[in-house]
Amino acid sequence: MSTTAETGPLPAPEPDPNTEDAPFWAGTAEGRLMLPRCTRCATVIWYPRQFCSECSGQDVEWFEASGRGTIYARTVVHRAQGPWRPAAPYVIAYVELEEGPRVLTNIIEVDPDTVQVGQEVRAVFVAAGPHKIVRFTPEAGA
């Protein structure tokens, strides 16, 4: 679990990898953000899978993404339920990766009230059972 500056532990649900997204999860285990790209139309695919959501091509290649992006949209959750309750307030955001896709994630290791649209962030990898999940934190000095 990760801890934000102002909150308790943010739950890190354990993923359930399958053969289609295995390269993604193997990358996160090594602290690398691996993404598929369509070899036909060059679309970077999110959520990781073995076909292109843009042109339906089935020929994809995996590459290491930069792990950097900007906050496209965000909200601060002040009231939560279940295992998320002790973590409130926390940030849920869409991060637009440098490579194009927008990913739904949490922004961690920062005061939730300071998180802004357009802010530069970088990927961090948080333990979730025997796996790691991707979350984001503000770039140093940003």
The CA distance from 133 to 131, in Å, is 7
**Per residue in 36-87, pLDDT tens?**
999 999 999 999 999 999 999 999 999 999 999 999 999 999 999 999 999 9
29 within a domain of the structure (yes/no): yes
Q: Is residue 3 part of a domain?
A: no
**CA–CA separation, 110 and 113 (whole Å):** 8
Residue 1, domain member (yes or no): no
Least confident of 26-35, 37-46, 132-141: 132-141
Predicted TM-score (pTM) of the model is 0.89
Is 101 inside a domain boundary? yes
Query: Which residues, in sequence order, are CB contacts of 90 under 8 Å at separation 6+?
Result: 4, 7, 10, 76, 77, 80, 84, 106, 108, 112
Instruction: Decide if 74 is inside a domain.
Output: yes
**Looking at the 3D structure of the chain, how many domains does it have?**
1
Is residue 5, in this structure, part of any structural domain at all? Answer: no
Tokens of 89: 């307030």
Beta bridge partners of 34: 64
Domain that holds residue 61: 10-138
Is residue 43 a contact partner of residue 58, using CB atoms and an 8 Å limit? no
- Give the span between the Cα atoms of 73 and 82, in whole angstroms: 24
111 lies in some domain? yes
Residue 90 lies in a domain: yes
